[in-house]
Structure 1
Amino acid sequence: MVRVVIADDQALLRASFRMLIESAEDLEVVGEAGDGVEAVEVVTRTGADVVLMDVRMPRLDGIGATRELRGKGARVLILTTFDLDEYVYGALRAGASGFLLKDTRPADLLSAIRLVARGEALLAPSVTRRLIGEFARMPGPGKRPTPLDGVTEREREVLVLIARGLSNAEIAERLVLSPATIKTHIGRLLAKLHARDRAQLVIAAYESGLITPSR
C-alpha cells in the first residue's frame, strides 16, 4: 500500500481527494493537514510515502513544507490551481517530485501518486514549459554553474535527453542502447549529482549549463 497524506487548507478539497484516493485498492490516506506546519508533523508521524501538497497554505506554504520534508523519505506531489512560474521552480528546488494542476483528471492523479511513490518524477506539460521559461530568465554568464564532476560523456548525453523530457524507452531508442543500460546510467547520474529523482536531474542539466532553453 502507498501511504498518502493530503495537505490542503480547504477541508472540502481534502475530503474529495480522500474519497478519490481511497477508491484505489493500492492507495491509503494516512493523514490530513490544513497547513504546512501540520503537514510536516503528520508526515513525520505517519511515515507517509507521498504527500499531496497544496502551495498556498497558512503558517507555512507548500514550498516551505516541501523543503522541511526533504530527506525524510516522503515524496511530494505539488497540487495547485496556479501554474505560476514562481511556484514551479521553487517547488522543484525544494525537493518536490511532481507538480500537477488541480484540474488534473482523477485517473491521472492516481497514476501520478503511484509514479511518484516509485521514485519517478512527474511534470504537467504546461509546468515543463514554464520551468524552461524560468531557466531562460535566470542570469547566465554571471551565475556559477552546477558542476558535473565525474559525469561521463555518455551520461551527459543521457542527462540532456532527460532534460528534454524523453522517457527511458525513448532515450534507449535515440542512443541505440538497451533500456536496462539507460536505467544504469540514470542510477549513476542520481548518485553522482546527489539527485533524488528525474526532476532534480532536469534542474542539474540546466543549472550546469549542459542544456539551455535555446538549444
Structure 2
Amino acid sequence: MRYVRMLTKTYKDNTGRSIDLYSLLIEHNGETSLLHPLHEYQLKNHVMSKSWHNKLIQAVELMLDYMDANRHYFSSPKAFFESFAESMHSGTIGEDGYDPSGLYWLPKRTTTAYNLLYSITQFSDWLAENALLKHQTTLTIDMRDMRLQQRESLPSGSTEVLAAKVEGLLPTEINALEHAVSEEFLSHQGWIPDTQGRVKMKGMLLYKAGYVTAIKKILSST
C-alpha cells in the first residue's frame, strides 16, 4: 500500500475559513483516495497542535508500512498489534543484520515508541466508538409488554438488547473494536471492566454499563 502526505483544506460552512491539515492519500488495489477515517479523526481534533497531528500521521504511516510488509502473518488483530508494538520498541533487524521484511527499523527510545503507540491506540479507540455509534440504529429493542417483568429485573442503568445484527464492518473497524475491548489494552490503560460492561479506572466511571458487552455482541454478530 503506497501513501503520500498531502495538505487538505476543509470548509465547514459558507465562509472563507478553512481547516488546513496534512493527512494521508493512499493507493490501494489500483485506487487512490484520502484515508478518510484518519482525516475525519483529525478534523475532530483539529484544535490539537501541529506536533500532535504529525505524530499521529507518523504512527499511522508506520502501521501501514508494517502491515504491508507482514501480510498474512497474523491470525488476529490482537496478534498484529502486539507484534507491531514489539517492533516499534525493538526494531526489525535480526542479529545477523538482516530484515526479510525490508523495513530495517532501528529500536526506538521507550518514550518515542510509547507516544507513537499511544497515538494509534487513541485513534483505534475513536474508530471503535464511532463504529459502535454508527451501528446503534440497527439494534432492535423488544418493547412488548410480555417482556416488562424481565426488563424490570435488569440492573439499574443497563440496556437489554434482544436482537442485533451488524453487517458491512470493514476489517479495520473489526480490528478497532476487538482492540478496544481486549484484555491487553484495558490492562495497559489501567481500566477495569465489570460484568455489566462498565469500564472504570481507580473507581472513576469511564464508560457506562453496556459499553464492553455491546461491542462484544457486535463482534459476535459479524
Q: TM-score range by the shorter chain?
A: under 0.3
TM-score (norm 2): 0.27
TM-score (norm 1): 0.27
Q: Which has the higher contact order (CA 8 A, sep 6+)?
A: 1
Which one has the largest radius of gyration? 2
